[in-house]
Amino acid sequence: MIKTFQNIAKIPELRNRILFSLALLAVYRVGAHIPSAGIDAKALGSYFEQARMTVFGLYDVFVGGALSRATIFALGIMPYISASIIMQLLTAVIPQLERLHKEGEEGRRKITQYTRYGTVFIAAIQSFGISIWLEGLTARMGDVIVPVVPHPGFGFRLLTMLTLISGTIFVMWLGEQITERGIGNGISLIIFVGCLDQIPRDLANTIRLIRAGALGPITMVFVVGLMLAVTAAVVMMTQGQRRIPVQYAKRIIGRRMYGGHSTHLPLRINTAGVIPIIFAQAIMMFPSTLATFFKAGFVAQITSYLQPGAWLYSALYSGLIIFFAYFYTAIVFNPVELADNMKKYGGFIPGIRPGAKTAEYVDKILTRITLPGAIFLAFIAILPWWLMNQAGIPFFFGGTTLLIIVGVALDTVQQIESHLLMRHYEGFLRKGRVKGRR
């Protein structure tokens, strides 16, 4: 491991890319602590302590606590993520966008531009809604009820909208710069850094409980072992794939012969990533979010039935995750288009006819391997509440944050690995001696 870091330092381009990424991530973290004007940050933080199980609490996790601190990056990169998901869905159903997607680099550049416009539009709507929401928000500080916004009005709304929209555009620019001139996917790394925000606080609370004798050594050994096992399982499921053999026929173009080689088609077990958990969490937290606005009896009763850790909550949550896993996989992966492209370039699966039969075969395999991936996602999503309610663990482990942390870390390490191997250095994931190295 030490030798690998020494090799990284020997490659100027890779070293500069890593330092550039770290510098921009540091800028993002500084901005996540600069308060926005006109908001009582202490009162808002007190409110979030009592409203963790709402859509606002979920949103705050992805922006690294910037929303609960009322900072200029309170919206974070989430409007860009929402715009990207919407563009993916629209590309699958609107022929004009689908043609743009197939045009290559120029088409993808136009889609990226549309995504940026969508980001600004979504950020404007969200910032306006947040300003209205903040004006009517109060928090209990001791025995006193304090308004989160001391001086509400049109000026506050306009200032909040301009601040949050500008913050989102700047964060989007940071992510694009990291992707282009740094290492790893910039947008993913920004979310990754936000998910790490709670870890120091959780560790401090755990150490405090151990010193107070609330957590015994046997419990902590069990928890640490479980965390290691779950993390290893997440790595395996994230990297897991079913490889379908593909053969390309020989073709003579001019005086050259092309094709005639064998390869494989990798189908990931977890094609949808963390999207199913995000969608399911948003739906399951909707009743508790309504309860913060409406004090009607039936809303409180529904919320009581849907408390995290209850059997009804776990059953509905798991069912939604499995449903969205299949739904999003069907959106982002098109077996018919894949089969047509293979047929166009002379590729075929041994024993399967090209065209419609290939599409049916790939769809059948994808449907089967998606089920264990979806069930595993449901297990990872329910695990934190079981640990907190049944085992008495004082911190949140698992769920969306663990999947994001593991997925982004693996992707970044693989990119560093590719830079090292191109220059005949050994990477983090050693598989014997590098071919061609002497």
Fold match between domain 1-213 and domain 216-393 = yes
386 vs 18: which has the higher pLDDT: 18
How far, rounded to the nearest angstrom, does the alpha carbon of residue 245 sit from its chain's CA centroid?
Answer: 30
* pLDDT for residue 427 is more than 70: no
What is the arithmetic mean of pLDDT over 252-256? 64
Residue 258 pLDDT > 50:
yes
Looking at residue 433, its pLDDT comes to 44
For residue 240, the model assigns a pLDDT of: 87
Give residue 1's pLDDT band: very low, low, confident or very high (50, 70, 90).
low
Give 178's contacts (C-beta < 8 A, 6+ positions apart): 20, 21, 24, 25, 184, 185, 186, 189, 190
Helix (H, G, I), strand (E, B) or coil at 48: helix
User: Mean pLDDT for the chain?
Assistant: 80
pLDDT the model gives residue 437:
41
Distances (CA, A) of 319 to 273, 278, 293, 379, 388: 16, 13, 27, 11, 21
Residue 163 has pLDDT above 70, yes or no: yes
Per-residue pLDDT, averaged over 391-402, amounts to 69
The answer to whether residue 53 scores a pLDDT higher than 60 is: no
CATH of 216-393, picked from 2.60.120.10, 1.10.3370.10, 1.10.340.30, 3.40.190.290, is 1.10.3370.10
Q: What is the mean pLDDT of residues 349-363?
A: 88
The encoded tokens of residue 278 equal 């995000």
The CATH code belonging to domain 1-213 is 1.10.3370.10
Q: Which of 77-91, 140-154, 328-342 has the lowest mean pLDDT?
A: 140-154
* Segments making up each domain of the chain, as ranges: 1-213, 216-393
| Confidence band, pLDDT 50/70/90 cuts, at residue 57 | low
List pLDDT tens digits, range 2-31.
666 677 777 888 888 889 999 999 999 998
> Higher pLDDT residue, 195 or 243?
243
